[in-house]
Structure 1
């Protein structure tokens, strides 16, 4: 569902997949080839939410902003796992947020960095490039290997393909997917 709020209407580029049940509200901008999966909520009633090209927000996740003028900015080719909460923060290109993880206000996850499943990145923290953090609260766990980084990058590409397969399946079922 696409819902205008405060004079702002979500913008969705060509080639995106927005699953049934997803809610896009207010100043939300989805770049080419990105995907927002079933039952996600992206709500921006002040500062914006930006989802970069080919990034994916997996089932049941919530993206929101802070009222203090801090949007939620997601770079290109990012993975946001199922049931994640991403709030008023920045994810650089190729970053990864694991299943059920929480990224709080003013946090940054740099390129090829990862917050592990279930992790909670508390306000103002930064995960540097190539690091894996986990736990509640999240802390440094390890430097990511080139193989782990490559696996995360492949996962994003696989989700982009899967999104197009879901889009086609919905179209075949008589739905009008985005």
Structure 2
């Protein structure tokens, strides 16, 4: 299913394959040879999403840009089932395993592997060829990769990265933080009210855009 969002339609290379139950919304460009499987959601929320040639988005994965953070996924990258990318830059030949979470402002270098249920936190830089083990947490720049039972060390690094400030422009100490967050974010998401479903026809992106 393809939708316009903020007046922009997805642009999908005719050599890509989109499952009938996948959702592609807004300013999304999908390159040649890409495969987007059942239940996957690729959505632009004000910034573009680019999926370069021969990449795969598997079942029920989520790839989401935000108004402040675009998404770029390099060629020959695999995004596993139920994985989630929010406003991050993913390199070429990257493997994101089942259930991985990549947060806003993160950069995952070429040929890296983020294994099952691992997390790459906001504003974290993974150099090329990095491996994040199963269920571990990558955090910060310079990078730390820590097991989930070392919560205090993860939190010490994570606190400095300031998730609510960086993603939502809100002070963590605000007494009514969640009230402000949900109201502000809700107003942004309400822009989907004007989305319009478009025919499930592919458009050759090479006709009106530079190469991916």
Aligned-partner SS, 2:45: strand
Runs of 5+ consecutive residues of structure 1 not aligned to the other structure: 142-175
- Would you say the 8 A contact 1:58–1:80 is kept in 2? yes
- The whole-number CA distance in structure 2 between the counterparts of 1:6 and 1:71 is 15
Q: Work out whether residues 136 and 145 of structure 2, in 8 Å CA contact, stay in contact via their aligned partners in 1.
A: no
CA distance in 2, matches of 1:44, 1:58: 18
Report the alpha carbon displacement of residue 136 of structure 1 after superposing the two structures with TM.
4.4
Which residue does the alignment assign to 1:58? 58
Contact 1:18 1:177 in 2 (8 A): no
Could you tell which deviates more after superposition, 44-53 or 131-140?
Answer: 131-140
Structure 1 segment 59-74 matched on structure 2, within 5 A: 59-68=59-68, 70-74=69-73
Q: CA deviation at 1:177?
A: 8.8
Q: Distance in 2 between matches of 1:140 and 1:94?
A: 21
Q: Does 1:133 align with 2:149?
A: no
Give runs of aligned pairs for residues 5-20 of structure 1, distance below 5 A. 5-20=5-20
Residue 77 of structure 2: aligned partner: 78
In structure 2, the gaps of 5 or more residues are 139-143, 147-199, 203-212
Q: Is residue 36 from structure 1 mapped to residue 31 from structure 2 by the alignment?
A: no
TM-score (norm 2): 0.64
How far off its partner does 1:60 sit? 0.3
SS at match of 1:14: coil
Q: TM-score, structure 1 length as denominator?
A: 0.76
Deviation digits for residues 58-116 of structure 1 (CA, Å, limit 9, x no counterpart): 00001101222x11100100010000010100011111111000000000111111111
Q: Which runs of 4+ in 1 moved over 2 A?
A: 134-141
Q: Which has the larger radius of gyration?
A: 2
- After superposition, residues 140-159 of structure 1 pair within 5 angstroms as 140=145
Q: Distance in 1 between matches of 2:136 and 2:66?
A: 21
Provide Cα deviations, 1:5-52, integer angstroms capped at 9, x if missing partner: 111000100211101200000001000011111001111031001001
